[in-house]
Amino acid sequence: MELNKMSDFIKSKTAIFIIVILFVIAIIISSFSLGVSVGYRKARFSYAWGENYHKNFGGPRGGFLMSFTKDFMGGDFIEAHGAFGLIIAISDSELVIKGKDNVEKIITINEKTDIRRFHDAITIKDLVPDEHIVVIGNPNDQGKIDAKFIRVMPATPNLPMPFQLKIK
């Protein structure tokens, strides 16, 4: 008899409504948790990068008294999982690249790092300064990016604009 009541309840619209509501709540909580996790990783990398700036480059970007509102609003977070920029220095296992806003980033390379120029696999010895690269990797606790994949971008020729206005 109670089994019939339970079966009737499971088939009722109320039970379906409760299940749907629980599912929606689970999705909302999951997406919030994912956002918190991503934000935490970005903040942790930016913090580690700032803490290790003296070791890596010799001084904080923008001086010691940076704008509080810029930091508070999140405008000064650094891309932690990748970089795009111009190679300015190369060592046996690290690259220094100049990214957007002239921010230097140190990229660490190991034997598992896949480096590509077009479809060809290359090594760190094949890289030269002034090449543009795209790096995908993971942040580490020293404020560096551990590269998993590096793509060398083709050089862009300095072509003139199709037409240029000549102002006299």
Contact 137, 151 (CB under 8 A): no
The predicted structure's pLDDT at residue 131: 92
Q: What is the pLDDT of residues 1-24, one digit of tens each?
A: 577 777 777 778 888 899 999 999
Q: What is the pLDDT of residues 91-135, one digit of tens each?
A: 999 999 998 778 889 999 999 999 999 889 999 999 999 999 999
Q: What is the pLDDT of residues 131-147, one digit of tens each?
A: 999 999 998 888 899 99
How crowded is residue 65: how many other Cβ atoms within 10 Å of its Cβ? 7
Q: For each of the domains in the chain, give its residue range(s) and CATH number, in order of start.
A: 80-152 (2.40.50.140)
The predicted structure's pLDDT at residue 34: 94
Token duo for residue 67? 């704008």
Count the helices and strands in the chain (H runs, E runs). Answer: 4, 7
